[in-house]
Amino acid sequence: MSLSFGILGFLNYKPMSGYDLVKAFESSLEFFWHAQNSHIYLELKKLEQKGYICGKTVIQSERPNKKIFSITETGKKEFLSWLAKENGEDLTHFKSAFLMKIFFSGNTPPAQSAKLLRQFLNDCEVYLHKMEAIPESIENYGSDKEFYQTIYWQLTADFGQRYIKTCIEWANHCIEILDTFKEA
């Protein structure tokens, strides 16, 4: 249901098309909430059926028609209720198949594990570079918002950057340890 609340959150700022929502997820939430296009469009249908959003088709002459979604009062109440609820999830535990592989990598040669970690390190560095675009995205999406609204966007972006930097530091540390096995 969290994807629903992400969509409601964006629509609470302004009406958007499905395409606009996909781009908004990609440019802001992706580092902590990945949503595939198909899931967003499926969720839009569900939200519309529940009466949380309503869609209006916009006829376009030079492009395909598009549907613009707006949050309804019922949807806004549901969204604000979700924001006000205490978080019932355990924030200290998460699942990671990658970390499980690392945990059991004592069953493989250290060089194989180091290769896996180098790929992880590379992916993190690429992702950190991609995150450099977030301040511009916040500026673009937040141009018509109050600063107190966009500060939360900046806080989550800061978390994402710090998290990825921590992953990079950790991966470098692990690789350094594993590389000592080559010398032995």
The CATH number assigned to the domain holding 75 equals: 1.10.10.10
Number of structural domains the chain divides into: 2
Q: Residue 167: which domain range?
A: 97-183
pLDDT at 144: 76
pLDDT of residue 70: 96
Q: In this structure, are 110 and 176 located in the same domain? A: yes
Residues 75, 20, single domain; the answer is yes
Residue 173 shares a structural domain with residue 104: yes
Clarify whether residues 76 and 107 are in a common domain: no
Do 126 and 76 fall into the same domain?
Answer: no
pLDDT tens for the chain, residues 1 to 184: 589 999 999 999 899 999 999 988 887 777 777 788 899 999 999 999 999 999 999 988 888 889 999 999 999 999 999 888 877 666 676 778 889 899 899 899 999 999 999 999 999 999 999 888 888 877 777 777 777 778 888 898 899 899 999 999 999 999 999 999 875 5
Using DSSP bridges, classify how beta strands 53-58 and 16-17 pair: parallel, antiparallel or unpaired: unpaired
Residue 46 pLDDT: 96
pLDDT at 90: 65
> Do 72 and 142 share a domain, yes or no?
no
Q: Are 80 and 95 in contact (CB under 8 A)?
A: no
CA distance 75 to 8: 7
Evaluate whether 43 touches 7 at the Cβ level (below 8 Å). Answer: yes
